[in-house]
Amino acid sequence: WVLSSLILPDDDSGLDAALRHDRDIAKALVADASFYDNAEIASQLLGATIAAAITAAKEVNTSCSGGGDIGKSAQKKKKRKRSKSFESGGASRTEALLCVPSEPSFQPLTMESLAEAYKAVASDDSSLRSISPTSFAKGGGLDKALHSLRFANGLPADLITRTCKPSHVDLLLRLDAHAQDILCTSSGLGAEALQQLVCFASASKLALERVVVAATFPFTADSHGSLCSAESQQALLEATYRSYLGVAKLGCESFADYSLHSGRVIELLLSNALLTYRNDSLLLQTFSGATDRVVSVEDGSGVTDVGFIAKVLFLRSITRGLINADSGVLRSRDPANEMRVSDLFFPLAFFEGRFWKLLIGFITDDNAGAHERAEILTLQEAVLLVGDLVLYASSLPPKVSGPIEPLLQSAMENVFRSVFDKAFRDNLCGKASGSLRSSLYYLVASAPRLCCNLTSIDAPIATLEIMKKHFKMSSGDPDSLLDAAFCGIVQHVDTKQT
- pLDDT tens, 312-369? 999 999 999 999 887 777 778 887 777 888 889 999 999 999 999 999 999 998 776 5
Q: In angstroms, what is the C-alpha Rg of the chain? A: 24
Confidence (pLDDT) at 61: 60
Spatial distance between the Cα atoms of 241 and 385, rounded to a whole number of angstroms? 16
Distances, alpha carbon 394 to alpha carbons 80, 166, 347, 362, 446, in Å: 46, 38, 13, 23, 9
| 3-state class (DSSP) for residue 131 | strand
> What does the pLDDT average to over 441-461?
88
Least confident of 91-95, 163-167, 478-482: 91-95
Confidence (pLDDT) at 71: 35
Spatial distance between the Cα atoms of 84 and 95, rounded to a whole number of angstroms? 13
* Closest by Cα among 38, 42, 29, 31 to 1: 29
> What does the pLDDT average to over 150-158?
89
The dihedral built from the CA positions of residue 4, 9, 10 and 14, taken in this order, carries a sign that is negative
- If one compares 185 and 82, the residue with the highest pLDDT of the two is 185
Alpha helices in 154-220 (DSSP H): 157-163, 166-185, 191-214
Least confident of 56-65, 406-415, 452-461: 56-65
Which of 125-139, 187-201, 390-404, 474-488 ranks highest by mean pLDDT? 390-404
Confidence (pLDDT) at 140: 80
Q: Which long-range contacts link 361-366 to residues 24+ away (Cβ below 8 Å)?
A: 361/303, 362/303, 362/308, 363/414, 363/415, 363/418, 363/419, 364/414, 364/415, 364/418, 365/303, 366/418
